[in-house]
Structure 1
Amino acid sequence: MDDDQLNKFKTIGAAHFPGALAGNVAAIEAIVAPWSGDAAGHRLADLRQLAPIISQGVCNNIAQNLIGPARAVRAVLFDKTAKHNWSLAWHQDRTIAVRKPIRLPGFSTWTIKQGIHHVEPPFGLLAGMATLRIHLDQVNLDNGPLDIAAGSHLLGLIPEPEIAKVVGMSTIRRCIAQAGDVWAYSTPILHASAASIKPRTRRVLQIDYCAEELPSPLQWLAV
């Protein structure tokens, strides 16, 4: 990683790593094949199969350079196709995946998504996280790339009624990619994704990384 990429992550909130996993696409495709095409998004409850990809090597190095001694704590496979040509409105990612729902101060809004317990942690924890998006297919302007509001990760927790105003005042960056590219963004950055104009398979394996432990007895889903 060069200084320019680190600076972009800190200031813009996102950095592009072209071809970082170009040699690993086939291996990742084989692992996620059972979930490809069956839904817009599939949350992975067991990350052990992905450990050689996300907990070692390039991805781990990127995360460590961005936020310190990080480890993978959540994985979601997004699959945008002609059948599931979905869109996402502007939002911040505000939840983490945990093993069990244990009520602690500062952790609120408990939900269950695809059988996995999620909770909103104190914002300071989210602010120190990084999200890596591993692209398994080409993403260009006509098949729903991720859009980010540059610098919005520095604004704290943004109330829902203020999101449109913040987006309107921000520079919007479109995260174009080739298969094997990695995009990293600060987890709480405002982001969105439009439906594809020309629908085709657009698979992205998204991994959240964090350098902090959760307060005991709460545990990350990935241990």
Structure 2
Amino acid sequence: MNYINNKIELEKNGYSVLADLYSDSEVSQILDCIENNEQSGNSFMKTKDLFAIRQLIKNVPDLTSLLFNKKLIELLSDLSESQYFLTKAIYFDKPSESNWFVAYHQDLSISVDRKADLENYSNWTFKKGQYGVQPPIEILKDTITIRIHLDKTDKNNGALKVIPKSHLNGIVRVDTKDWNIENEFVCEVEKGGAMLMKPLTLHASNRTINGKKRRVIHLEFNKHNLTEPLAWLEHYGIKTST
């Protein structure tokens, strides 16, 4: 496989969609691995509208070999010549009866191991036992998000909507509406496919209205070390072959 066109589209538009990253069998193995794992502790969140697992690799380590198949490794290799590593892994299950929606926003926070008073690190949070912070913009610009879809996802069950090229405008104050909703694009993804995204791309999702699930594994990759004494809360190297 060659993913150079996806790289070009990601850099130009702030997103790209691809199919067949995982076979139906691989998707089933991933779901079985998650469902058979003990689900307790701060990293697990469950409501009627959402089930999520934060620090997914730490909490479900057997997923590593299933997620990093040959195609994902080739994709990461094609996306960048730099040595990227995994900095965030979350599992989202948007149940079929969910009425949960997310308004337009950018992903401006990273997860770190501690709090420190540092220049260009702002908007600190502390949720579910972990620190979040908005890092220097260069780190956000160089983040690559890969959303692995474990169900077919379209506009009726919460596919992400994006504003193409909005990542080129830096950090946007969403309340100013300094962007054009008419350019909105719905990223429909097949089961086993993936959506690539820049975190500065404005994105949103609607409520589920067709009674179908939307299970997604959200992975973020970066190549930068943080300003000491900060370190990424999650930091997993990527092997170069399966």
Fold equivalence (TM over 0.5): yes
Contact 1:46/1:222 (8 A) holds in 2 = no
Q: Report deviation, 1:165.
A: 3.3
2:83 is equivalent to residue 69 of structure 1: yes
Distance 1:83 1:197, change over 3 A: closer
Shift, 1:185, TM fit = 0.8
Report SS of the residue matched to 2:178: helix
Counterpart CA distance in 2 for 1:113 and 1:60 is 31
In the TM superposition, residue 84 of structure 1 has moved relative to its aligned partner by: 3.1
User: How does the TM-score come out when normalised to structure 1?
Assistant: 0.89
AA aligned opposite 2:91: L
Aligned to 2:46: 38
What is the number of equivalent residue pairs in this alignment? 221
Cα root mean square deviation, aligned: 2.2
**Are the counterparts in 1 of residues 56 and 91 from structure 2 also a CA contact under 8 Å?**
no
Does structure 2 conserve the Cα–Cα contact (< 8 Å) formed by 1:15 and 1:183? yes
Of structures 1 and 2, the larger Rg is shown by 2
- 1:3 and 1:64 map into 2 onto residues whose CA distance is 10
1:1-223 pair list within 5 angstroms: 1-22=2-23, 23-33=25-35, 38-39=46-47, 40=50, 42-45=52-55, 47-48=57-58, 49=61, 50-54=63-67, 57-67=70-80, 68-162=82-176, 164-168=177-181, 171-223=183-235
Change (3 A) 1:53 1:154: farther
Mark the CA change 1:197 to 1:139 in structure 2 (over 3 Å): closer, same or farther: same
> Is 2:93–2:215's contact at 8 Å kept on the other side of the alignment?
yes
Letter in 2 for 1:207: L
Structure 1 residue 82 displacement after superposition = 3.6
CA contact (8 A) 1:110 1:117 kept: yes
Change (3 A) 1:220 1:124: same
Query: Structure 1's 132 and 149: CA in aligned 2 closer, same or farther, altered over 3 A?
Result: same
Aligned mates of 1:73, 1:55 — CA distance in 2? 14
Q: Which runs of 5+ in 1 are unaligned?
A: none
Structure 2 unaligned runs (5+)? 236-242
The answer (yes or no) to whether the contact 1:60–1:71 under 8 Å persists in 2 is: no
| 8 Å CA contact 1:55, 1:72 repeated in 2 | no
The separation in 1 between residues aligned to 2:181 and 2:140, in whole angstroms, is 23
Q: Deviations over 1:70-105 (max 9, x none)?
A: 111011222212443310000000000112222221
Match of 2:238 in 1: none
* Residue range with higher mean Cα deviation, 205-214 or 57-66: 57-66
Provide, for residues 41-74 of structure 1, a one-character-per-residue CA deviation record: whole Å limited to 9, x for no partner. 5242352413324556433432343243211101
d(CA) in 1 for partners of 2:97, 2:129: 24
- Partner letter of residue 110 of structure 1? W
TM-score between the two structures when normalised by the length of structure 2? 0.83
Checking the alignment, whether the CA contact within 8 Å between 1:131 and 1:184 is kept in structure 2 is yes
Partner SS for 1:47: helix
CA–CA separation in structure 1 for the residues paired with 2:55 and 2:130: 7
Q: CA deviation at 1:200?
A: 2.1
Give, in whole Å, the separation in 2 of the partners of 1:61 and 1:196: 33
